[in-house]
Structure formats: structure tokens, C-alpha cells
């Protein structure tokens, strides 16, 4: 398996609606590691590492998010980082 890491910044109503926990659940379902963190500007940062096809599936899900969220934009960037051993919430 080729390790692929991508960082996504999700904009909209994404804090206080279970977005980080739902992102973690989606990532774990796909066998990915990384993190989901609230940012001070109201966005959520999501790092996804694993098989590229699985990362792409979770990125597509980020545009939808959990039912209480309202995503208006997702910005992605491939990153060269050491793959974390788990998926953490921050």
C-alpha cells in the first residue's frame, strides 16, 4: 500500500455539530490515520493518510459532513508528513 497524506480545511457550519467525530468515523471505516482539529477561524482541519482511493472517498464525504453540518468549501493539499499511527481528535 502506498501511503498518501492529504490535509483538508473544511469551511461552513462545521464546529459544534459533531464534524470531527464523524470525520474520524469515516476515516477509520476506510482504514485511514490522521487527525481532525477545530481551528480558531471556525474551520476544521482534517489530515487523512492511507491508500489514495480511501483518502479520496473521505474527501468526497467531507463535502457532505454529518447531518447537522453545512459545508460551504473544502480546500485540499497533498502533504509530505510522517503518517500518524492513529486518528486523533484535537
Residue 25: left if φ>0, alpha if ψ -120 to 50, beta else—which one? alpha
| Catalytic-labelled residue, pool 2, 29, 37, 38 | 38
Adjacent-strand bridge partners of 37? 45
Told to judge if 38 belongs to the known catalytic residues of this protein, a careful annotator would answer: yes
Nearest-CA neighbor of 32 among 7, 13, 14, 10? 7
CA 80 to chain centroid, in Å, comes to 16
| Catalytic-labelled residue, pool 20, 37, 60, 70 | 20
- Residue 12: which H helix or E strand, with range? strand 4-13
Told to judge if 20 belongs to the known catalytic residues of this protein, a careful annotator would answer: yes
Annotated catalytic residues are 20, 38
Amino acid at each position: 500500500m502506498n501511503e498518501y497524506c492529504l490535509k483538508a480545511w473544511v469551511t461552513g457550519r462545521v464546529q459544534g455539530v459533531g464534524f470531527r467525530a464523524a470525520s474520524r468515523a469515516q476515516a477509520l471505516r476506510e482504514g485511514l490515520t490522521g487527525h481532525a482539529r477545530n481551528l480558531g477561524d471556525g474551520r476544521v482541519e482534517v489530515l487523512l493518510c492511507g491508500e489514495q482511493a480511501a483518502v479520496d472517498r473521505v474527501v468526497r464525504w467531507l463535502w457532505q459532513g454529518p447531518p447537522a453540518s453545512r459545508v460551504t468549501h473544502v480546500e485540499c493539499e497533498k502533504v509530505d508528513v510522517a503518517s500518524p499511527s492513529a486518528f486523533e481528535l484535537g
